[in-house]
Amino acid sequence: MARKKLIAGNWKMNGLMADGVDLAKGIAREVKALGKPGCEFLVCPPFTLLTSVKKALRGAKVALGAQDCHFNAKGAHTGDISPLMLKDAGCSYVILGHSERRADHGESDELVCKKAAAAHAAGLKTVICIGETLEQRNDGKAIDVCSRQIMGSVPEDSTSADTVIAYEPVWAIGTGKVPTAADVEEVHAAVRKVLSKKLGKSNANKMRILYGGSVKPGNAKELLSLPDVDGALVGGASLKVDDFLGIARNSGC
Ligand code: 13P
């Protein structure tokens, strides 16, 4: 079965109301103009913009996602947001275990796994992020690190219907540096093998593995035509309508 490509924008901590709504409207307009795109689209704005962006996307085939959630449904967790709240705000996806959260908030594989299980239970799909640091890559440990993160961060009962993996080498995020196509394919193929061991061959073959890290319109074609690359998780370039859609168009969407 062919895996439909997913072009996902992670807006990170960017966007005040007016700009965020404009961006969402622009993306909605351009996605509608594609007619029947061959890809799926997802945007993940900050929490404060979720409901406004949801409205701005009305009528366009663009899913809404958040960038994190708590593992509890409700309760005394000041400053946190639950999966049910995200669902209630119109989200169908949540990004979990992004390297910025792993670094800034000390999130472990175990915590990411707990959050993912809770998100799935609430009916959300997860985009679970993995990726090695530059030091780990230089030590030849990229595949070991990613394999360990998959084993620890992905719940046992995850399926291709509720889970997307995003491989984002930490050193490629926001730096303009991108691994060679051969290196990207090597990690993605290895990740699929680990997924096969963990979740079974059928889930692994159907599960989408996105690449993230300095994806731009100019490198999208090469990266997204690799056999095990099933889309992109885009940071900086997802904040401009032309760049985000350029990535999609250059990937054959
Ligand atoms: P950049 O596209 O800005 O490198 O960010 C990638 C990323 O972290 C997406 O989650």
> pLDDT tens, 151-202?
999 999 999 999 999 999 999 999 999 999 999 999 999 999 999 999 999 9
Which residues, 6+ apart, have CB-to-CB distance to 54 below 8 Å? 64, 89, 90
Tokens linked to 183:
């290196």
Q: Which of 30, 40, 132, 168 is catalytic?
A: 168
Q: How many domains does the chain have?
A: 1
Which of 35, 99, 22 is CA-nearest to residue 61? Answer: 35
Q: Which of 98, 100, 132, 188 is catalytic?
A: 98
Residue 98 is among the residues annotated as catalytic for this protein: yes
In whole angstroms, give the CA distance from residue 52 to residue 56.
6
Q: What domain range includes position 71?
A: 5-250
Centre of ligand 1 to C-alpha 76, Å, is 32
Report the CATH number that the domain containing residue 166 is assigned in CATH: 3.20.20.70
Task: Tell whether pTM > 0.85.
Answer: yes
* Amino acid making up residue 133: T
pLDDT in tens, 45-100: 999 999 999 999 999 999 999 999 999 999 999 999 999 999 999 999 999 999 99
Q: What DSSP assignment string belongs to 154-187?
A: S-TT--TTTEEEEE--GGGTTTS----HHHHHHH
